[in-house]
Amino acid sequence: MNEATHRSRPIIPAERMKQLPKQFFADLVQRTNARIAEGHDVINLGQGNPDLPTAPHIVEALQQAAADPIYHRYPPFSGFSFLKEAVALRYKTDYDVDLDPASEVAVLFGGKTGLVEISQILLNPGDVCLVPDPGYPDYWSGVALAGAEMVMMPLLEQHGFMPAYDAIGEEHLRRAKLMFLNYPNNPTSAVASSSFYEETVRFAERHGIVVASDFAYGAIGFDGQRPVSFLETPGAKEVGIEFYTMSKTYNMAGWRVAFAVGNREIIRLINLMQDHMYVSLFGAVQAAAAAALTGPQDSVCELCAIYERRRDAFFEALRRIGWQVTPPPGSFFAWLPVPKPYSSAAFADLLLEKANVVVAPGIGFGEHGEGYVRVGLLAPEARLREAADRIGQLALF
Ligand SMILES: Cc1ncc(COP(=O)(O)O)c(C=O)c1O
């Protein structure tokens, strides 16, 4: 048969593929790469990709484990017990939270996977998911794939970037089954208090809503303040789970390893879903993740101190150029108000074109992100200062 006898038919995607949200930042990434390719010295503070390497003892643990034939075989479904025990130990040590490793910890291929999975295991079409706005766009992806409806919870500066539960309408509350929270917050960098989580547990109990606390930046708190885990709150395990990733705490973003911890029925459902999609992560990655969780935590403290020094250097420089901004209490992001008359996208474009500085426009995180840009503290202090100086030369403040 020759080519002419085969007629190509269009590939027709499933309806759900059309529901997926547009990747807002793809265009910015493309334009950034184009400027770099043209030879410009671009300072890229637009992404959330940790710039520092994983600690050597974790890399060595992977190297050793990779040579061990035990890990060349299929790992157990739902992951090795030693890893789940290591997670439970970390939560006990850091937050005084008791977790049963067998039933209250699920191993994930990175937090992103779990954040999409939770919508698949809990939401039906017609259900509502409460989503922070501005917020991390992967929540939208999971809700869209489940065919459920998002109701945005505005995070406003005058309310400390916390959702106002009493502003959510009755009808939405009746249909709401799931809610995402994320503190320390991406993109606003706000940090939650214990009393906010106590209010959250009461709200979730009253309305039968599952809380998904995304604790991706849990290890990064400044000025001696340790961010609170949602699971520290009495009653939290009855209403929800927490996602904890190795990506930020241990600079292991490329390793793809994270956990869901908390409510055992939700953990069971996550594991059930994953049993149909994956065998677990490469065993050597699990061994290295366990080494990270149970080994010395000095590198975590040092990382936090590095981000704090970067924050201080950057905000000092911003003050010098006259940009009135509040330093973040946690996460590795700065959430900065855009000067008039720019929109967040127009301001980000201006910085890219005129200063070769990349920042993420707030509108990409939701309607209430308009008026801000997000800056990642993911470059050395000198580069952050230089970014501020280049912005200063535009004489906008
Ligand atoms: C708020 C938030 N949640 C979750 C993640 C997911 O991290 P990972 O998939 O690397 O575990 C990120 C990564 O940038 C994030 O910013």
% of the chain beyond a pLDDT of 70: 99
239 has a pLDDT exceeding 60 = yes
Ligand 1 in reach of 374 Cβ (< 6 A) = no
3 has a pLDDT exceeding 70 = no
pLDDT digits (tens, 9 = 90+) for 12-35: 999 989 999 988 888 889 999 999
pLDDT digits (tens, 9 = 90+) for 50-61: 999 999 999 999
Ligand 1 atom with minimal separation from the 115 CA: 4
Ligand 1 atom with minimal separation from the 113 CA: 9
Ligand 1 in reach of 189 Cβ (< 6 A) = no
What mean pLDDT is predicted for residues 79-94?
A: 98
Which pLDDT score is estimated for 205? 98
- Compute, in angstroms, the gap from residue 259 CA to the centroid of ligand 1: 12
pLDDT digits (tens, 9 = 90+) for 111-149: 999 999 999 999 999 999 999 999 999 999 999 999 999
Ligand 1 in reach of 110 Cβ (< 6 A) = yes
pLDDT digits (tens, 9 = 90+) for 363-388: 999 999 999 999 999 999 999 999 99
- Compute, in angstroms, the gap from residue 254 CA to the centroid of ligand 1: 11
What mean pLDDT is predicted for residues 69-84?
A: 97
| Ligand 1: residue whose CA is nearest its atom 7 | 111
What mean pLDDT is predicted for residues 333-346?
A: 97
Verify cis geometry, omega within 30 degrees of 0, for the bond prior to 187.
yes
What mean pLDDT is predicted for residues 261-282?
A: 97
Ligand 1 atom with minimal separation from the 111 CA: 11
pTM: 0.96
